Structure 1
Amino acid sequence: MSNAFHYTEKLICIFNAKIYNSDSETDFEWMLFDEISGYIKRIGVGKPDLSGLTISNSIDIGGQRILPGLHDSHIHVSNIGREIWSCELNNCSSIKEMQERIANYCKKNPNAEWIFCAGWEQEKLGRLPNSQDLDVISDKPIFAYRICHHIAVVNKTALKLAGYNRDIKDPEGGTLDRDSNGELTGILRENAINPVMAIVLKSISKPESLIKFLKIGLKNCLESGLTSVHSNEAASWNELCTIERNKELSIRVFMASYYSSLSKNLPKYPGEQYGNLLSCDRIKIFCDGSLGGSSAAMSMHYINDEKNKGLLLMSQDELNTAVREVTAAGYRLEIHVIGDAAADAALTALETVGVDPNKRPILTHCQILRKDLLPRMRKQGVIANIQPPFLPTDTAWLHLRLPKPLLEYAYVWKTLMKEGIVCAGGSDSPVEHWNPFWGMYDAIFRPLGSRTSTEVHKPEECLTIREAVDLYTKNGAYTTRREHDLGQLKVGYLADFVVVDKDIITEPKSLLDVKVNQCWISGICKYKRL
């Protein structure tokens, strides 16, 4: 008697479909996969080849478009949940509107210890907010992130709790804005945010709260068509494991923790797979700030602040040490670089430490580059983790901040791809919305200053629809080193796919209003639109 174990397949056939073929412009029309193993068994055109098989379920998809499962290669899932739960300040058009929103939130949440807000932009408010704007709202501590999360404004109560006063010096890698009399204005930049945020997190990020925020964020990602998120999370591994253990992890999570959390709440070993959907193999290092906050590190001065080249958050020696420590710990690297000086410093660190290009180090954002940086990126095996939704936002004011020589290599995604550099698409949500179809739209049409604009920023850099889809599918899988079973729909790959109500391949403009009808992961339907 044989003791060999044989599992029973549960085969599902999807037919009458337009299934995206990553290798050809000829769509597949049917697909057969096993719900138990999650793998695709057969795929093709014409009449389904089901000879000799017992089919558990056949689904006529009604001619709808099917795409491989979509990846967001740079996102903050818990922050999405936290900001949905908190006071949202996105698109506030004045200081008065900002104050009204916060005041309404205070009334609805009388027991809140801290008033946590996010999403403001000084370009829309008319000026930078200050502590006095917040002091008139409440005596409770108020913390409000700019949309980029690299600047915050707080009231005097929060300043006092953090031990900030006029005599305090700026911290390394951060600044506290002051008025003409030397008094703190309440604006905190980069590392100056950390002491206040540490107190905020003690109040709002207890394990049970963090789990709640993660679940809210994951739900919203799933409903938008994301089957995999590469989520930057500070010390959240145990909470994600709890969600997976309770069978509540709805999509794949490729977690990246932070260098500041290198010894906290991490997996047992780099690359550990917990269950079928959760893993962590990389650590994020911050090299510079943000464009919106004029703190991204540049090789030239900002034209709106002639004394400012932005901020490198570490010296070159410190960055080299961080890269060396992360590599020695066995993790892959993800380095935040927005300005060209930051990209230069990150590449120097990779070269100095001798990071293996086969480890596929990731440079996240890559917004402002230089021609001389591109060959170095290719040689180091760098993946450019880009955020197309930044473009319509940033190009409204980019020319008012950066000199023309820096604009030459701003958001040059086509150029990067021609150089042989793999680009993966993400949102950096909640900085921008997590909708991956909007990201594809922005990569294709590159609208200048607003997604509704008909003007194009650098038309020569526009991607094709297939290049844009690849950003969020096969290139996302490559970024996780899972290109052998994710990111495409073919035999031997996992049945992660999305069914949408419009044919975005033949009608790319429909990316703006396409709806997700179904979302499948490992051959199981996880979301179906009512």
Structure 2
Amino acid sequence: MKTIMIWVTVLFSLSCLAKPTIISNVKGYTMSNSGALMQFSHLAFDNGKVLALGDHTLINQFNGAVIIDGKNRTLLPGLIDAHGHFMGMGVTLLQIDVREDKSAQATALHVREYAAQNPDLKWITGRGWNQVLWPGKAFPTAKQLDEYIADRPVWLSRVDGHAGWANSKALALAGITKDTLDPPGGKILRDEQGNPSGVLIDTAQDLLEKHIPQADKAFYEASFNAAQNHLLSLGITSMHDAGISEAVYHFYQQKAKSNQLGVRIYAMLSAVDPNLEAMLSKGYITDDKDFLSIRSVKAYGDGALGSRGAALLEDYSDAPHNRGLLVTQENQLKPLFETVLRNKFQLNFHAIGDRANRLALDQFAATYKTIGGRDLRNRIEHAQVISLQDIPRFKQLDIIPAMQPTHATSDMNMAEDRVGKDRLRGAYAWQRFIKQGSRIALGSDFPVELANPFFGLHAAVTRQDRRNQPTEGWIASQALTLEQAFKGFTIDAAYAAHQEDVLGGLTEGKWADFILVDQDIFDQDPSQLWKTQVLETWVAGKRVYQQP
């Protein structure tokens, strides 16, 4: 008994030696749980969590605290990206990025140069092409790649991940020929003779991708580290991973147990994983440091607008007789929704076109009546093109729209071509959701878009690209205020992950996740928001990134 008392005394004495830390002299901004913008000049934290925020009197309140001079810099809570692809980002950082190439020929030339620099690669893989930005706006062909590289298979994902471009070598290795049938939810683009042209859309990509050699453990680790370091450098301290496989499910748990997660991950199980029900049966996965939470499922409704895979109620305006693709067939929705909601997992449904959104809303309404689950904060991911009569149903059914501001500014050059002016009234309609009381969880959908959250804040507020075009903003009536956008990247993103009590702000008891940036975003010309640079990133009261 005496020995126990001695150890208790020692532990108590050591705890008394621990000193809180105060960041002083900052221009601080955060959101309360109710969504009110709060300002402060001093932030006190200890054991990784916020003790208080306020003015200089905090120094007297926490006598003996370690004081760090913030040098009058702007301090914000760590930003949350509510829809991204963590491992996909890492892979993209390690592969060829063709996002900036201005034509199919320029892309093919870039691929040839990359292949020459990496002679040991058996497959050349990459991402980022977007035919909408090229002269003529036509989909590329295998022959255009063959002209520059024909001896090794090439596979390049479109910027949105809903289409891929192969050379003839890759098509041959995958056995894709004139006789190959389009799979459900997918399409093989063909030439006038019916031969595969080189572009595979949505589920047709699986026909080829299953032939690409599996990444080894070293590549897996490198992808993870690349993604984590990149996000922390951008001020993203938490992200929602939109669709993980069983392998990643176990990988993340190992990382959490070994304290190797530096970015907080709210992971969604992929609805198409063959072992989904086994993972659901294990219940929620959490850790006591809130670095990993798995309690949701990502389901896939349709494709993307740019590749004409988004499922529409009427024909595409620029493609008669084409209404897009359903990646999950309509008769599969009922059992899927019931399985997920019966297990009390949040269901996050990818829906871009107005038909996919309506089908999701209809099925949520039907499943609520039979299974329940309304309280799970279910989401529709993207919610891009929606019939005006369906927007109020999000509020009525307690569905959270998880939206990505830079999608609007990336898509504005083709969206009206795809759906016409009338359907745009319900497209990227952020302010319509805000006015009806919906909470919007904002993100980027990286690596489809660049992960920088200040690009997202800029796009949300200005409805402009980073060249400040169009001058008045694209459908400017739907622009958010900066406070609304900031809320979407902080407390509302946390709410969409059932984490508003521990993340999304810097109020007492929450994790001390914060960033220092080089300009006061609330006292800045909105056109300059995207230029904001992250100087430092802190997670759980520890500095994990400092700008070189």
Shift, 1:340, TM fit: 0.9
TM-score by length of 2: 0.91
* 2:59 is the alignment partner of 1:45: no
Shift, 1:452, TM fit: 4.5
Please say which of residues 229-238 and 1-10 is displaced more in the overlay: 1-10
Tell me the equivalent position of 1:529: 547
**Alpha-carbon distance between aligned partners in 1 of 2:202 and 2:467, rounded to the nearest angstrom:** 27
| 8 A contact 2:31–2:490 mirrored in 1 | no
**Alpha-carbon distance between aligned partners in 2 of 1:275 and 1:162, rounded to the nearest angstrom:** 45
| 8 A contact 1:77–1:231 mirrored in 2 | yes
RMSD over aligned CA atoms reads 2.0
Tell me the equivalent position of 1:228: 238
| 8 A contact 2:374–2:397 mirrored in 1 | yes
**Alpha-carbon distance between aligned partners in 1 of 2:281 and 2:538, rounded to the nearest angstrom:** 29
Pick one of 509, 518, 521 that aligns with 2:527.
509
Please say which of residues 339-348 and 234-243 is displaced more in the overlay: 234-243
Shift, 1:21, TM fit: 3.7
| 8 A contact 2:305–2:352 mirrored in 1 | yes
Shift, 1:51, TM fit: 3.5
Pick one of 308, 311, 336 that aligns with 1:294.
308
Shift, 1:239, TM fit: 2.1
Tell me the equivalent position of 2:196: 184
**Alpha-carbon distance between aligned partners in 2 of 1:413 and 1:152, rounded to the nearest angstrom:** 30
Shift, 1:367, TM fit: 0.8
Tell me the equivalent position of 1:195: 207
* 2:334 is the alignment partner of 1:320: yes
Tell me the equivalent position of 1:480: 497
Aligned residue identity for 2:131:
Q
Report the secondary structure of 1:389's partner residue: helix
| 8 A contact 2:150–2:169 mirrored in 1 | no
1:53-89, CA deviations, whole angstroms, 9 ceiling, x for partnerless residues? Answer: 432x211101111111100000011111111211111
Tell me the equivalent position of 2:87: 78
Please say which of residues 368-377 and 166-175 is displaced more in the overlay: 368-377
Shift, 1:350, TM fit: 1.1
Report the secondary structure of 2:57's partner residue: coil
**Alpha-carbon distance between aligned partners in 1 of 2:419 and 2:500, rounded to the nearest angstrom:** 37
Tell me the equivalent position of 2:425: 408
| 8 A contact 2:341–2:373 mirrored in 1 | no
**Alpha-carbon distance between aligned partners in 2 of 1:217 and 1:39, rounded to the nearest angstrom:** 25
| 8 A contact 1:67–1:497 mirrored in 2 | yes
**Alpha-carbon distance between aligned partners in 1 of 2:412 and 2:86, rounded to the nearest angstrom:** 26
**Alpha-carbon distance between aligned partners in 2 of 1:304 and 1:145, rounded to the nearest angstrom:** 23
Tell me the equivalent position of 1:272: 285
| 8 A contact 1:336–1:363 mirrored in 2 | yes
Shift, 1:439, TM fit: 0.1
Task: Flag the 1:33–1:262 CA change in 2: closer, same or farther, 3 A.
Answer: farther
Task: Flag the 1:112–1:392 CA change in 2: closer, same or farther, 3 A.
Answer: same
Task: Flag the 1:155–1:25 CA change in 2: closer, same or farther, 3 A.
Answer: closer
* 2:401 is the alignment partner of 1:384: yes
Task: Flag the 1:463–1:52 CA change in 2: closer, same or farther, 3 A.
Answer: closer
Q: 1:155-194 residue pairs with structure 2 within 5 A?
A: 155-194=167-206
1:75-122, CA deviations, whole angstroms, 9 ceiling, x for partnerless residues? Answer: 011111111211111021122211111101111111112110211111
**Alpha-carbon distance between aligned partners in 2 of 1:223 and 1:270, rounded to the nearest angstrom:** 33
Shift, 1:26, TM fit: 5.4
Report the secondary structure of 2:438's partner residue: coil
Aligned residue identity for 2:231:
C
Identity %: 27
* 2:319 is the alignment partner of 1:310: no
**Alpha-carbon distance between aligned partners in 1 of 2:91 and 2:380, rounded to the nearest angstrom:** 26
* 2:374 is the alignment partner of 1:345: no
**Alpha-carbon distance between aligned partners in 2 of 1:245 and 1:109, rounded to the nearest angstrom:** 35
Aligned residue identity for 1:242:
Q
Shift, 1:154, TM fit: 1.0
Task: Flag the 1:181–1:21 CA change in 2: closer, same or farther, 3 A.
Answer: closer
* 2:77 is the alignment partner of 1:59: no
Task: Flag the 1:451–1:387 CA change in 2: closer, same or farther, 3 A.
Answer: farther
Report the secondary structure of 2:485's partner residue: helix
| 8 A contact 1:18–1:63 mirrored in 2 | yes
| 8 A contact 1:244–1:275 mirrored in 2 | no
**Alpha-carbon distance between aligned partners in 2 of 1:453 and 1:517, rounded to the nearest angstrom:** 30
Please say which of residues 323-332 and 404-413 is displaced more in the overlay: 323-332
Shift, 1:262, TM fit: 5.3
Q: 1:201-240 residue pairs with structure 2 within 5 A?
A: 202-203=213-214, 205-232=215-242, 233-235=244-246, 236-240=248-252
| 8 A contact 2:377–2:496 mirrored in 1 | yes
Aligned residue identity for 2:240:
H
The gaps in structure 1 that reach 5 residues or longer are none
Shift, 1:466, TM fit: 0.8
**Alpha-carbon distance between aligned partners in 1 of 2:421 and 2:469, rounded to the nearest angstrom:** 25
Name the structure with the higher helix share: 2
Report the secondary structure of 1:403's partner residue: helix
Task: Flag the 1:153–1:323 CA change in 2: closer, same or farther, 3 A.
Answer: same
Shift, 1:488, TM fit: 1.4
1:342-371, CA deviations, whole angstroms, 9 ceiling, x for partnerless residues? Answer: 010011111122242210011010111122
**Alpha-carbon distance between aligned partners in 2 of 1:287 and 1:273, rounded to the nearest angstrom:** 27
1:441-487, CA deviations, whole angstroms, 9 ceiling, x for partnerless residues? Answer: 10000016965442311222111111111111101110111111211
Aligned residue identity for 1:269:
K
TM-score by length of 1: 0.94
Tell me the equivalent position of 1:359: 376
Shift, 1:41, TM fit: 1.2
Pick one of 5, 8, 12 that aligns with 2:21.
12
| 8 A contact 1:74–1:428 mirrored in 2 | yes
| 8 A contact 2:176–2:207 mirrored in 1 | no
Tell me the equivalent position of 1:284: 298
Aligned residue identity for 1:513:
K
Shift, 1:206, TM fit: 3.0
Report the secondary structure of 1:231's partner residue: strand
* 2:163 is the alignment partner of 1:151: yes
**Alpha-carbon distance between aligned partners in 2 of 1:451 and 1:275, rounded to the nearest angstrom:** 44
Shift, 1:501, TM fit: 0.9
| 8 A contact 1:88–1:118 mirrored in 2 | yes
| 8 A contact 1:272–1:280 mirrored in 2 | yes
**Alpha-carbon distance between aligned partners in 2 of 1:316 and 1:298, rounded to the nearest angstrom:** 13
Shift, 1:245, TM fit: 4.0
Aligned residue identity for 1:302:
Y
Q: How many residues align?
A: 525
Shift, 1:242, TM fit: 3.5
